[in-house]
Amino acid sequence: MTGQVFEGIRVADFSWVGAGPQIARELAFYGATVVRIECHRWPETTRTAGPFKDGITGINRSAFTAAYNVNKYGISLDLNMSRGQEIAGRLVRWADIVADSMSVGAMAKWGLDYAGCKAMKPDIIYYSTSQMGQHGPYSKIKGYGFIGVSLAGYGQVNGWPDRDPLPLFNNYSDFISPYYMIAAVVAALLYRRKTGKGMYLDQSQVEVGVNFLAPLLLDYAVNGRLAGRVGNRDAFMAPHGVFPCSGNDRWIAIAVSCDEEWQNLCNGMGHPEWAGDPRFSTALTRKENEGELEGLIGEWTKSHSAAELMTALQEAGVPAGVVQTAEDLFNDPQLRHRQHFRFLEHKEIGVHAYQSPAYRLSKTPCTFTKAAPCLGEDNEYVYREILGLSDDEIADLLIEGVITTETDMPQVLSGRTRG
Amino acid sequence: MAERDSSLLGGYRVLDLTDEKGLLCGKLLGDLGADVIKIERVGGDPARSIGPFYQDVPHPERSLFWFYTNLHKRSITLNIETADGRAVLKKLVENADFVVESFEPGYMDSLGLGYGDLETLNPALVMTSITPFGQTGPYAHYKATDIVGVAMGGMVYIYGEMDRPPNRLSCPQFYFLGCLHGATGSMVAHYHREMTGQGQHVDVSCQQAVVLSLMVVAEIWDMLKFSYRGMGPFYAGARPGSLPLFSRVVYPCKDGHVFLLVTGASQAGMVASSRALVEMANRDGFALELKDYPWQKIDASSISQEELTRLTDLMQDFIKTKTKAELFEEALEKGILLAPLTNMKDVVESPQLAARGFWEQMEPPELGTTITYPGYPIKITEAPCRVQRRAPLIGEHNEEIYQKELGFSKEELVALRSHGII
């Protein structure tokens, strides 16, 4: 562990589900010690919704949970019990950072909100991430990323102008928000180093989502124009779209941003004469005759494989890429070169894939030290080694049910595969 | 230079050499208080031609894309393809903390400005390179635009109508995602530099950033060998050994659409949500047959498609009689997992965003009007983030930087300008 960026930094991770746990995962990739606190009595949605190993339900079989908790220690603790809150307080005193992504008010109920934690550890850095932020008329909303995505305007800009809006299966704002927070938390650690002061960071995931639609937001705020759905078209580029290829539901994305790329595309298609066709020879005429152009290109692409086309068009100097499926991502030679997927052995799932950060640091690469924990997997290490509890104390906590061991929600495991 | 402790990154300097692919990264560092200098090519950055434009006037000082992605920054012009230009850049690098660039891999090296060169000048420098696929590898030199990039990252396949090609979001995300991860990586490297004095190179792949945004799509493949595909207004749940389960999630209502999830007890809050919605529908005489429905027993691995469709059809009959506001008001009060699909007008008028003090307003003197910007999405107690200044005009800060800071004389500035270097 020597030489790791965040060596010695400790995180008490009370966050759960999607957006929250990704934040401390990043710190754990670079050497921070992260303890994730969970409870068998209310297992988080990712543990109960799957996807499960072999499709068989089980609280420790979900790759959804595993994905965001790699490199962390996992403990079980009932925060509704006063002894549980007391133990949580010990973790707060141990920690540099406290992480929260619960519904607004939950941490306060346990005495673990920022004020409570600051009283225990004056220089604590504490972050909360929630759909709406900690105050305001909608702040009490309970919900998942789809609520945030819907309220941030995404629902109206996914799909086709002549059809209803489409949902964003990936709860997109849950997967942008963590990275805003990581950058701010790292800055907060350095701020504390210089000033001795901790701080509180309160994130609204809806506000993150709005930032990623800023050009559309400004177009409305400044010009009064309401953005709509445009399918795969672009305001200026043509051709610009997703075209059919041979095989079942296979597609290629092609975008032509200038006349030179248009000529390259015509050569690539074996129709150099189209380059000079007055219907398509300039950016304006291509845009004007876009429908016709798309038809011609689709006729050509549909008898070729997407992978073949990408190679040939890139060779010819045209931006083109396979519309990759999840399966394709695992076989993508570029992602493989970047070691995007790493395989670790999880206690119940077995060997399975974890994702790496999108950036590579030349001198302090990320590390994969530990598959994600089963619920309570690291109780012994954390309670004994980190918090210094005696065997007798640990035994008492187990008997009292403060350290939880099994779920008493038999119906909760529905076996539904998320999505 | 600003005081180092007045904001989180106060006094740290970023040299921003990027084009549209990397502009947001410097903006994000500027959000935290960094002193960001946008180094534009002579005549202005090509990203200034990206719309939409203020009052729809396509002019390099009117791009709303530019306004947003260059908040906080100062601008100087510099031609780094000339020897004099490179010398000027190297001088700036000596006192910089971050360099962000988004050229094709190898370009900076070809100018003698690669990380190896700059590290010699300033060993503490953090240099961040943002490219579609990363600096090395079989696709490192592939051309990408937004649609090509999000397609390669797996984000297009998961959206779409069943009878049409999969589609991208109608607002580019590929480079924004790369920039977000670039800013994150820059901060991790910054921390290491502050602790050890050692800088490093941060090599970002926008494609990987897209893959990380797909929620559980990769994991579904890993566990179940099912590639999630966009299915119109439905979610498609993989069920090993049987056909995927289609669950409607987008519902037309009286004045638009709402998102609603009706699923099993495995989703926290779901049972209470469904009960509350049925109660609301019952009041209006809808979905009466669901009055005592055993929601806690819904099991998505075994429920039949017919039964789930019956449930969601009954919801649909009720929802289409209500407005977005009527539905959302009760959803907020009763914990129903439903939200309106908002547009930008709804977003701008949101009482929640107003109550949070989310919006930032600037009055650029040359426009004589107020521009509203999305604010920083994290409230920070000790060091709140503020907009430092509006996006710069082309070369607006040439004198300030070249004369006052680097000590060039007026004559030297004129000479540099006449040689097309600034």
Give residue A419's pLDDT. 30
Residue B114 to residue B108: CA distance in whole angstroms: 5
Give me the residues paired with residue B72 across strands: none
> pLDDT of A5-33, one tens digit each?
999 999 999 999 999 999 999 999 999 99
Percent of chain A with pLDDT over 70: 97
pLDDT of residue A14: 98
**H or E, element range at B331:** helix B324-334
Question: Predicted confidence band at B376 (pLDDT cuts at 50, 70, 90)?
Answer: very high
Phi, psi of A321 (to 5 degrees): -150, 145
**What was the pLDDT predicted at A411?**
43
**pLDDT of A415 higher than 80:** no
Half-sphere exposure of B397 toward its Cβ, with a 13 Å CA cutoff? 18
The verdict on whether A328 is a catalytic residue reads no
CA distance B351 to A138: 8
Topology given in CATH for the domain delimited by A240-325? formyl-coa transferase, domain 3 (3.30.1540)
Q: Has the ipTM of the complex gone over 0.85?
A: yes
What Å distances lie between residue B193 and A148, A152, A288, B93, B197, CA to CA? 35, 36, 53, 16, 5
- B243: pLDDT strictly greater than 80: yes
- Written as one letter, the residue type at B82 is T
Task: Judge whether A61 and A154 are in contact, CB under 8 Å.
Answer: no
- Find the distance separating the first CA and the last CA of chain A, reported in whole Å: 38
**Per-residue pLDDT for A408 more than 70?**
no
Please answer yes or no on whether B266 and A67 come within 8 Å at the CB atom.
no
Residue B295 is classified by DSSP as: G
Which of B183, B200, B211 lies closest to A183 in CB terms?
B183
The whole-model pTM stands at 0.97
Provide CATH 3.30.1540.10 ranges for chain A: 240-325
Q: Give the position of tokens 């509704």.
A: A80
Nearest CA in chain A to B236: A419
Q: Percent of chain A scored above 90 by pLDDT?
A: 92
- Domain ranges in chain A with CATH number 3.40.50.10540: 10-212+338-412
Q: Give the pLDDT confidence of A283-318 residue by residue, as tens digits.
A: 999 999 999 999 999 999 999 999 999 999 999 999
Instruction: Tell me the per-residue pLDDT of A325-367, one tens digit each, with 9 for 90 and over.
Output: 999 999 999 999 999 999 999 999 999 999 999 999 999 999 9
pLDDT of A398 > 50? The answer is yes
Question: Cα separation of B190 and A189, whole Å?
Answer: 11
Domains and CATH numbers, chain B: 13-154+173-212+356-418 (3.40.50.10540), 233-344 (3.30.1540.10)
Answer yes or no: is pLDDT of B4 > 80: no
Rounded-to-integer distance, Cα B69 and Cα B66, Å: 5
> Which residue reads 């490179």 in tokens?
B86
What would the pLDDT profile of B189-242 be if each residue is shown by its tens digit?
Answer: 999 999 999 999 999 999 999 999 999 999 999 999 999 999 999 998 888 778
Q: Which residues of A touch B161 (CB under 8 A)?
A: 159-160, 163, 166
Q: Which top CATH class is A10-212+338-412? A: alpha beta
pLDDT tens for residues B274-313? Answer: 999 999 999 999 999 999 999 988 877 788 999 999 999 9
The CA angle A226-B229-A62, to the nearest 5 degrees, is: 110
pLDDT digits (tens, 9 = 90+) for B36-50: 999 999 999 999 999
pLDDT for the residue numbered B267: 78
| Average pLDDT of the residues in B355-368 | 93
HEC readout, chain A = CCCCCCCCCEEEECCCCCHHHHHHHHHHHCCCEEEEEECCCCCCHHHHHCCEHHHCCCCCCEHHHHHHCCCCEEEECCCCCHHHHHHHHHHHHHCCEEEECCCCCHHHHCCCCHHHHHHHCCCCEEEEEECCCCCCCCCCCCCCHHHHHHHCCHHHHECCCCCCCCCCCCCHHHHCHHHHHHHHHHHHHHHHHHHCCCEEEEEEHHHHHHHCCHHHHHHHHHHCCCCCCCCCCCCCCCCEEEEECCCCCCEEEEECCCHHHHHHHHHHHCCHHHHHCCCCCCHHHHHHCHHHHHHHHHHHHCCCCHHHHHHHHHHHCCCEEECCCHHHHHHCHHHHHCCCEEEEEECCCEEEEEECCCEEECCCCCCCCCCCCCCCCCHHHHHHHHCCCCHHHHHHHHHHCCCCCCCCCHHHCCCCCCC
- Exposure string over A129-144, b if 16+ CB within 10 A, otherwise e: bbbbbbebebbebbbb
Please report residues of B whose CB lies closer than 8 A to that of A243: 165
Tokens, residue A77: 């603790």
Distance CA B216, CA B224 (A): 12
Residues of B in contact with A207 (CB under 8 A): 353, 356, 358, 374-375, 377
What is the per-residue pLDDT across B342-358, written as a single tens digit (0 to 9) for each?
A: 999 999 999 999 999 99
Measured between beta carbons, which residues in chain B are less than 8 angstroms from residue A250? none
Distance in angstroms (rounded) separating the CA atoms of residues B35 and B54:
26
* A140-163 residue pLDDT tens: 887 788 999 999 999 899 999 999
Q: Tell me the residues of chain B between 391 and 420 that have a Cβ less than 8 Å away from chain A.
A: none
Average pLDDT over residues A28-40: 97
Chain A CB contacts of B373 under 8 Å are 214, 218
3-state secondary structure (DSSP) of residue B15: strand
Paired sense of beta strands B256-260 and B338-340, if any: antiparallel
Rounded CA-CA distance A9/A189 in Å is: 9
Angle between helices A19-29 and A177-195 (to 10 degrees): 50
Taking the C-alpha atoms of residue B132 and residue A222, their distance in angstroms, rounded to an integer, is 31
Q: Give B119-173 pLDDT, tens digit per residue.
A: 999 999 999 999 999 999 999 999 999 999 999 999 999 999 999 999 999 999 9
pLDDT at A208 over 70: yes
Residue B1 has pLDDT above 60, yes or no: no
Question: What is the mean pLDDT of the segment spanning A185-200?
Answer: 97
Task: pLDDT band for B386, please (50, 70, 90 cuts).
Answer: confident
**Which residue out of B347, B349, B359, B372 would a mutagenesis test of the A interface target, given it has the greatest number of A Cβ atoms within 10 Å?**
B347
**Per-residue confidence band for B2, with pLDDT thresholds at 50, 70 and 90:** very low
Mean pLDDT within A189-193: 97
**Alpha carbon separation from A51 to A26, A69, A417, B94 (Å, rounded):** 22, 15, 5, 50
| Burial classification of residue A125, based on how many CB atoms lie within 10 Å of its CB (0-12 exposed, 13-18 middle, 19 or more buried) | buried
A174 and B65 within 8 Å at the Cβ level: the answer is no
**B211–A contact, CB cutoff 8 A:** yes
What per-residue confidence (pLDDT) applies to B322? 98
* Residue A418: band (very low, low, confident or very high) from pLDDT cuts 50, 70, 90: very low
Active-site choice (A78, A96, A174, A378):
A174
- In contact, A398 and A87? CB cutoff 8 Å: no
pLDDT at B117: 98
Query: Do B352 and A136 lie within an 8 Å CB cutoff?
Result: yes
Show the tokens assigned to B275.
């009960």
Asked if B208 reaches chain A (Cβ–Cβ under 8 Å), the answer is yes
Q: What is the pLDDT of residue B240?
A: 79
DSSP state of B55: G
Phi, psi of B189 (to 5 degrees): -65, -35
pLDDT at A413 over 50: no
